Chain A
C-alpha cells in the first residue's frame, strides 16, 4: 500500500509542477489517492462511489498526453465530485435513496470541462440528501478529519472531508445556503461560492434554482482559483448562466493586496458566535491589517432578516422540484428532508414573493457596501464543526444548527455575490475556523488573491488533520 504523504498533501499547483517536471506521474498520484481512500475513508465516509478503474485509466491516458507535450493547470490531477454532479454512465445519487440507482447519460457541463482539462475523476463524494441539509440514513454522515466525532458539515461534506484528509487534490461542491463554505470552514479549507451565474449548473441536480451555485473546495485559495478558471464561463445550456467574460483568477493570485478596503461586518462577529470562533476570526482580521489592507467597520442593513428571506425561498423552490416524489414516495426521503419539503409545499405564494422582495433589499444593502469597500469579512460560520447528529430539526426557532449557519453563509446566496471561506486559524481545541471574504459581483479575483495573501502569511492551510 502506498501512503506517500509527500504526494498526498501537495497543493494542486504543486502536483502539476511535479507532473510537469516528470518527478511523478498522474498514475502514481491517482494510485496514492486511491490507496489512501482505501485506508482512511471507512473512518470518514467521504465517498459514495470510488472510480478506481476509470480513474487509473484516465491517469494513464493523461500521462501519455503529457509525454506528447500537453500541459495544463489541471492535467493529471485527481479530483473528487460531490454526488450531485451528473457523470455519464456513473451512478449519481444526490445522497438520496430515490436516486440510488440513477445513472445519467451525460456529464454535467463542469464535469465535461474538468475532463477536457485532463483532471482525473476519483469518485463521487457523500453529501446531505438532495443537498438539503440533512443526511439520508442510507448514506450516513461524513465525519470531520479534524475530529471524527464531529461532522464535516454540508451539504458538500464528503468533498470537504476528502480534500481535507488528502484523498483528493480538490473537489467540486454546490452551495445554496452555504454548502461549500460551511464544510470548508469546518474542515479548514478554501471553499469558493462564485458569483451567481459564473459557473454552469447544467447537469447539477437543483435544490433551489435562484440560490444554487457550483464551486471548488481546495486546500488553498490558489488551488480554488485554478479550478474556478477551468469551470467558469457562459453556458447556454444553463438558463441562469451569466454571459460575462471570465478572466483568469490564478493569473492575478499574487497581485498586491495592500490598500484593499476591507469592511468588517461587526454584527456577524457577535450574533450566536462562539467565543473561540470570535477570537480566531478577529485575529485573522488583524492579520489582514498586517498585510496592508485598510480595515473599517461595515454595517449593511437587514442582515438579521436573512433567515425570514431565505427560508421560504429555498423551501418553496425545493418543494416545487421534489413535488412529484413527495406525493408518490414520501417514505423514501429522510424524515428531515421530507418534513422540510412538506413545509415548502405549504408556503403561500405571497410569502414567497415577499421573501424575494426582502431579498432585493438585503442585496441592495450589500451592493451599497461595495461603494465603500472592496471586500466584506466576517466568520464563515459562527460555530465550529458541530458534533455528529446535530442536524436535527428542533422545532425551536434559532435552536436549529442550520438556522445558525445559514444566517451567515446564506447572505451571499441571497445576493449572488462571490464569497470565499479561508482557514482563519484553529481554536484551542484544534478545530478549524473559517473567515469569509465577500467580493463584488464577478470579482472572484480580489477575494481569491486576498485569501492567497493571508494563507501565504500564516501557513494555517498547511496544517494536516490527525486522521492517519
Chain B
C-alpha cells in the first residue's frame, strides 16, 4: 500500500471515529487530526499490552464512595 493510500485509509478511519461520536470535521482538517491520532499508536499499544492478562477490575477511586472508605 502506498503512503498516500495508507494516509487516506487512516483519514477515513479517523473521520469515522469522530462521526460515531457525533463530531463533524471538515475534510480539510481530518489529515491533521488523523496524524495526531495515529502518532499516539505506540502509547495505545503500550496501554493495551500492559492490560493484557491483568485481571484487576477498574475502580474509579475518585468516587465519593471510595473516599468514604478511606476516611482518616
Instruction: List residues 8-39 of chain B with CB under 8 A from any CB of chain A.
Output: 14, 17-18, 21-25, 32-33, 35-37, 39
Q: Which residues of B lie under 8 Å from residue A360 when comparing CB positions? A: 56, 58-59, 61
Partner of A240, one of B14, B36, B56, B63: B63
Q: Which A residues are closer than 8 A to B by beta carbons? A: 196-197, 209-210, 239-244, 305, 307-309, 311-312, 319, 323, 326-327, 330, 339, 342-343, 345-346, 351, 353-361, 363, 393, 395-397, 416, 441-442
B18→A416 contact, CB < 8 A? no
- Report B58 CB to chain A, min CB distance, Å: 5
Bound: A235/B64 CA distance, A: 11
Q: Which residues of B lie under 8 Å from residue A307 when comparing CB positions? A: 43
A351→B47 contact, CB < 8 A? yes
B63→A345 contact, CB < 8 A? no
Q: Which B residues are closer than 8 A to A by beta carbons? A: 14, 17-18, 21-25, 32-33, 35-37, 39-40, 42-44, 46-48, 50-51, 54, 56-64, 67-68, 70-72
- Report B23 CB to chain A, min CB distance, Å: 5
Q: Do A397 and B23 form a contact, CB below 8 Å, given A243-B71, A353-B58, A357-B58?
A: no
Q: Which residues of A lie under 8 Å from residue B23 when comparing CB positions? A: 323, 326-327, 342, 345
Bound: A243/B62 CA distance, A: 12
- What are 15 inter-chain pairs, A to B, with CB distance below 8 A? A209-B62, A210-B60, A242-B71, A243-B67, A305-B47, A309-B47, A323-B21, A326-B23, A345-B18, A346-B17, A346-B18, A354-B47, A354-B48, A358-B50, A363-B61
Q: Which residues of B lie under 8 Å from residue A241 when comparing CB positions? A: 64
Q: Do A243 and B43 form a contact, CB below 8 Å, given A346-B18, A346-B21?
A: no
Q: Which residues of B lie under 8 Å from residue A342 when comparing CB positions? A: 18, 23, 25, 33
- Report B71 CB to chain A, min CB distance, Å: 5
Q: For residue A328, which residue of chain B has the nearest CB? A: B24
Bound: A396/B70 CA distance, A: 40
Partner of A393, one of B22, B36, B57, B58: B36
- Report B22 CB to chain A, min CB distance, Å: 6
Bound: A208/B67 CA distance, A: 18
Partner of A442, one of B17, B40, B48, B72: B72
> A343-B33, A360-B58 known; 18 other A-B pairs, CB under 8 Å?
A197-B62, A242-B70, A305-B47, A312-B44, A323-B22, A342-B18, A342-B25, A343-B40, A346-B14, A346-B21, A356-B59, A357-B56, A359-B61, A360-B61, A361-B50, A395-B39, A397-B40, A442-B70
B46→A308 contact, CB < 8 A? yes
Majority DSSP secondary structure for residues of A touching B: helix
Bound: A305/B50 CA distance, A: 9
Q: Do A327 and B24 form a contact, CB below 8 Å, given A243-B71, A357-B51, A396-B39?
A: yes
Q: Which residues of B lie under 8 Å from residue A339 when comparing CB positions? A: 32-33, 36
Q: Which residues of A lie under 8 Å from residue B59 when comparing CB positions? A: 356, 360
- Report B7 CB to chain A, min CB distance, Å: 13
Q: Which residues of B lie under 8 Å from residue A312 when comparing CB positions? A: 44, 47
B39→A354 contact, CB < 8 A? no
A361→B56 contact, CB < 8 A? yes
Q: Which residues of A lie under 8 Å from residue B71 when comparing CB positions? A: 242-244
Bound: A102/B11 CA distance, A: 36
Q: Do A244 and B32 form a contact, CB below 8 Å, given A351-B44, A358-B50, A358-B51?
A: no
Q: Which 7 A-B pairs have the closest CB atoms?
A: A345-B21, A346-B17, A242-B67, A308-B47, A354-B51, A210-B62, A308-B43
B67→A244 contact, CB < 8 A? yes
B39→A355 contact, CB < 8 A? no
Q: For residue B59, which residue of chain A has the nearest CB? A: A360
Q: For residue B47, which residue of chain A has the nearest CB? A: A308
Bound: A311/B18 CA distance, A: 18
- Report A361 CB to chain B, min CB distance, Å: 7
Bound: A359/B44 CA distance, A: 14
Q: Which residues of A lie under 8 Å from residue B37 when comparing CB positions? A: 343, 346
Q: Which residues of A lie under 8 Å from residue B14 when comparing CB positions? A: 346
Q: Which residues of B lie under 8 Å from residue A416 when comparing CB positions? A: 61-62
Bound: A357/B54 CA distance, A: 9
- Report A395 CB to chain B, min CB distance, Å: 5
Bound: A416/B67 CA distance, A: 10
A356→B70 contact, CB < 8 A? no
Q: Which residues of B lie under 8 Å from residue A305 when comparing CB positions? A: 46-47, 50
B72→A244 contact, CB < 8 A? yes
Q: For residue B67, which residue of chain A has the nearest CB? A: A242
Q: Which residues of A lie under 8 Å from residue B54 when comparing CB positions? A: 357, 361
Q: Which residues of A lie under 8 Å from residue B22 when comparing CB positions? A: 323, 327
